[in-house]
A and B are shown apart, each in its own frame.
Chain A
Amino acid sequence: MSEKIEYTPFHPRWYRPHIPVFWWLRRRSYLLFVLRELSSVFVAWFVVFLLLLVNAVAQGPDDYRRFLDWSAGPGVLSLNVIALCFIVLHAVTWLFMLAPHAMVVRLRGKRLPAAVVGAGNLVAWVLASALVASLILG
């Protein structure tokens, strides 16, 4: 439609603002967004870590012990703590911010508000965690 109009010979000189490097610091939601994007790196790291663990278990008790010692070292430990924080951020934003908007849950023909869906997700998460914890610890 509109693009058929030939602007070129008369085109005004538009100003296109360039985006500053630290644009994502200007707003909390932008910061959160960049951190969540960054969290994918740590999700990947956890997968690698898990594969290393499985490999160590498969190699036998010695390798497994060596793996545990390596994991307990300050470097790997702190890396994992940071990774955990990012994973939690990733999970929380997904479960409680995104999913309630993506899912349409109806009760007696009425759509439940996103907050209720989010709360439901939280309850489900706690229950699942409790189940896993009881399996490991119990």
Chain B
Amino acid sequence: MTLSHDVLIVGGGGAGLRAAIAVAEDDARLSVAIVSKVYPMRSHTVSAEGGAAAVIRPDDSLDEHAYDTISGGDWLCAQDAVEVFVKEAPGELLRLEHWGCPWSREPDGRVAVRPFGGMKKMRTWYAADRTGFHLLHTLFQTALQYERIARYDEWYVMKLLVDDGRVVGVVAVELMSGRIEAITAKAVILCTGGCGQIYPFTTNAAIKTGDGLGLAYRAGAPLKDMEFVQYHPTGLPFTGILVTEAARAEGGWLINKDGYRYLQDYDLGTPSPKPVLRSMELGPRDRLSQAFVKEIEKGRTLDTPYGPVVHLDLRHLGETVIDARLPFVRELCRSYENIDPVHELIPVRPVVHYMMGGVHTDIHGATPLEGLFAAGEAACVSINGANRLGSNSLPELLVFGARAGRAAASFASGAQGGTAVRPAVQAQVEDERRRLERDLFHRDGKEPISAIREEMRATMEEGAGIYRSGDSLAKAADRLSVLQERFRSARLEDRSRTFNTELLAALELSFMLDVAEIIVHCALLREESRGAHQRVDFPARDDHRFLANSLVHRDADGSQRVEYPPVTITRWPPGERVYGR
């Protein structure tokens, strides 16, 4: 039995669905399919809260959005990509509106916008504080009208099939039955999201295990800027649940244990009662998370069983504003912290939120590996540089999801030959089948995978957290290579073929370990501090050596080789990042 499509999309979140619709609209003759390890509406896009940035107001301009994005990214963004991004973002958000997305509205019926961190103008569209949820469900429901978009729900992709330097499909396992199949395709788009699960404390859902990063890397596609890991400044302790930046955009304050708005001590401006754009609580995420660490060092945070916290104060906003603009924040605080933000302070601490890095692509979503495309958090174009601005990720997955979809469609229409499986590829499929059978039934190792996973997470937090050093990273690298070794002899108790989530967890952990090693390796080599990558032993930005993306390849012997191609600069030469001044 051969499963075969022209374009195969791995991942059914925002980017994957947008890409699928783009393919379906682009060429009616193409067959397109989405393979996803969860039902598409369970994808992590659903958790995004605050909003999506796109220029729509007359007092705003594309250049200002581009400048905010590039300075927010500490000049590591590919500026040609940013220009494309800000230009196409409004059209994509409007299209979402035409598909039914329930954007919040002004009294006159126009789409409403709110301020957001690091943005000089109000340009963040929102659907209360459930923007990602509404965006994902709108995309999913819109995709349902295209009967030609086939779906493999709850199938897990284990390997990309590469034939003669070209990606020709995937090997995937159907979770419900345990059967392993090759799905061939002329073009494959990776839309698998990020990898927050390699850290112990993250806003990311359990499914965000860097599968696509691992798949691409093992198949020979380079990853880019992997050392840049974004900590969101406001996560709820214990759960790591996100409290959206919109809470600060609506006027929330960050205060330390003395009730003091401490951000004023970190070159982020002076406090004022009303929110000021690009200032104080509306500074960029990297700077806010770093300020938190400095507050710990000064002993001005509060201790809880789940680590030090500061407080987010929304009380002065009042119940009406909170219920209208931040209802989900209130719901989450009530159910997970047992507090009501209308009357009480919300305990928060920085939490791993987003990977700026990803599979290296051009502005069309194409990777250097022929037939392979990527979009969304899994990809790195890069519009986010060293630090992503809040509300840029949702328009990013739309703009580049659509672009990757169109590019893959045109690649597939022009691709030579059918999708017949050549013997060399068939051998890869059989190898993968054997590997899994071995993993399924002959894994009498010593320790459970959960122990290794926990240790990996602790290693990453200690070695490659908000602040890193050559020492901490070297130690982390050593521990990770030991963990890789231990993983090879780990134990799997579950021998069932039916919905074997332990097997799934093992496959995911194997990708996560690879990604963790890459992050640490790239962080060790980047001897400077830029955006989310802060080296205590190299505290300054070094444009002379590192105004360059890190591009990490997998060499034939399995080792990592990092190159530094220069950043694409079009109109904005590197400058100082100025906030609150």
Contact = CB atoms under 8 A, between A and B. Distances in A.
Direct contact of A and B (CB under 8 A): yes
Interface of A: 1-2, 4-7, 10-13
B54 to A, nearest CB: 30
B553 to A, nearest CB: 36
Contact of B153 (A2, A10, A12, A13): A2
Contact of A4 (B150, B179, B498): B150
B151 A2 contact: yes
Chain B's interface size range is 10 to 19
B28 interface: no
Contacts of B177: 7, 10-12
Nearest to A6: B1
A5 B172 CA distance: 14
A14 to B, nearest CB: 9
B175 to A, nearest CB: 10
A78 B153 CA distance: 58
B150 A10 contact: no
B147 A1 contact: yes
A130 B498 CA distance: 65
Contacts of A6: 1
Nearest to B496: A12
Select the residue from A5, A6, A11 with max chain B CB neighbours within 10 A: A5
A2 B35 CA distance: 11
Interface in B460-515: 498-499
B174 A1 contact: no
Contacts of A2: 150-151, 153
A12 B498 contact: yes
A1 B179 contact: no
Interface string B141-177: 0001001011111000000000000000000001011
Nearest to A5: B152
A10 B151 contact: no
Contacts of A7: 177
A10 to B, nearest CB: 4
List the 7 shortest-distance A-B pairs measured between CB atoms, nearest first: A10-B177, A10-B179, A12-B498, A2-B151, A1-B151, A12-B177, A12-B176
A10 B151 CA distance: 17
23 contacts: A1-B144, A1-B147, A1-B149, A1-B150, A1-B151, A2-B150, A2-B151, A2-B153, A4-B150, A5-B150, A5-B152, A6-B1, A7-B177, A10-B174, A10-B177, A10-B178, A10-B179, A11-B177, A12-B176, A12-B177, A12-B498, A12-B499, A13-B498
B316 to A, nearest CB: 27
B228 to A, nearest CB: 37
Given A2-B151, A7-B177, 15 more contacts: A1-B147, A1-B149, A1-B151, A2-B150, A4-B150, A5-B150, A6-B1, A10-B174, A10-B177, A10-B178, A11-B177, A12-B176, A12-B177, A12-B498, A13-B498
